[in-house]
Amino acid sequence: MTNDDAGRRSRPARDAGCFGKGRSVAGVGALGALVVLAAPLVAHADTLVKGRLKGVEALLNPVATEAADPNNHRFTFREPSATVSQQAKILTAFLPKELCVVALGPESKGQGTARVVVSGGRTTPVTIVVNEGQTLQFENHDPFVHRLYDVGGKGGFAVAETAPKAARSWTPPPGAATYELRDERAPSLRTWVVVEPKATRAVTPNAAHACGVVTRRGEFTLSLPEGKFDLRGYFKGAPVGEALPVEVKAGKDKQDLPDPLVVGKAESDTKKGG
């Protein structure tokens, strides 16, 4: 799923407002509109499952965090803006692209091609979970070439040039595994591809991967068939937080989850836990 794909279905909710009280109302309204608009797109058997995330503050952007270390020589000066809050200065991850919420169910074979956009120093999504046998297509939307490869070479994704407006396909080897992809031309680009046989394809056929839609405010939606699933967040190519058991009942267009999906331990929780 690309940013555009996600936005088509979820941006009203994602962009409804974040980090501000005034935007919460608009966000709720937009989420409602999203549900209404998305309903015709999903199969009748699918239920739009909506939930919220907990502990997103613990998810830090790995690239930015690494670049903030002076020992890595990524800048000659780096200073905080005095008028920005300290909380905002924490280099938290951009959830819509970096966090993948997956419903783990019975094993299945993936179908279709998962589209990944390369642009702006990263891919969209950054962490992607696919089924076995699924193909990924990397589309270069930058005005310059990229040279993607998988770190370690275990995925057989060798270094190759992708020209502007060109695309490159890759099918990970069979079996559950995690692959980290990088770009020789853009050091900030780090992508994680997770091959998970139990991942349930959760969204539109265009996306062909298992990641649900996540907003910046920490909300997510998944279109799931009837059945029992374990919801799990994937960040930096690895599952984070705790699994959230979910039972999707038939006959419902949408289902709100009462409990949040924990993707990390917030600092406040850490203090409470001693």
Q: Which of 21, 40, 43, 80 binds other proteins (CB under 8 A)?
A: 80
Q: Which tokens go with 272?
A: 């409470």
CA distance 97 to 50: 18
Q: Is 71 in the site for other proteins (CB under 8 A)?
A: no
Q: Which residues, 101 to 130, sit near other proteins by CB under 8 A?
A: 117, 119-124
CA distance 57 to 55: 5
Give the total of residues touching other proteins (CB under 8 A): 60
Least Å from the CB of residue 251 to other proteins: 30
Strand order in the sheet with 113-119: 122-124, 113-119, 135-140, 167-170
Sign of the CA dihedral 230, 236, 238, 239?
negative
Closest CA to 186 of 140, 125, 135: 140
Q: Which of 24, 44, 75, 156 binds other proteins (CB under 8 A)?
A: 75
Least Å from the CB of residue 38 to other proteins: 13
Q: Which residues, 136 to 165, sit near other proteins by CB under 8 A?
A: 141-145, 164
Element (H, E) at 24: helix 21-38
Least Å from the CB of residue 223 to other proteins: 19
Q: Is 26 in the site for other proteins (CB under 8 A)?
A: yes
Amino acid at 212: G
Q: Which residues, 158 to 197, sit near other proteins by CB under 8 A?
A: 164, 185-189
CA distance 63 to 181: 13
CA distance 108 to 128: 16
Q: Which residues, 32 to 61, sit near other proteins by CB under 8 A?
A: 61
Q: Is 63 in the site for other proteins (CB under 8 A)?
A: yes
Instruction: Note the residues at the interface with other proteins (CB under 8 A).
Output: 2-4, 7, 11-12, 15-20, 23, 26, 61, 63-64, 66-68, 72-81, 83-85, 88-92, 94, 96-97, 117, 119-124, 141-145, 164, 185-189, 216
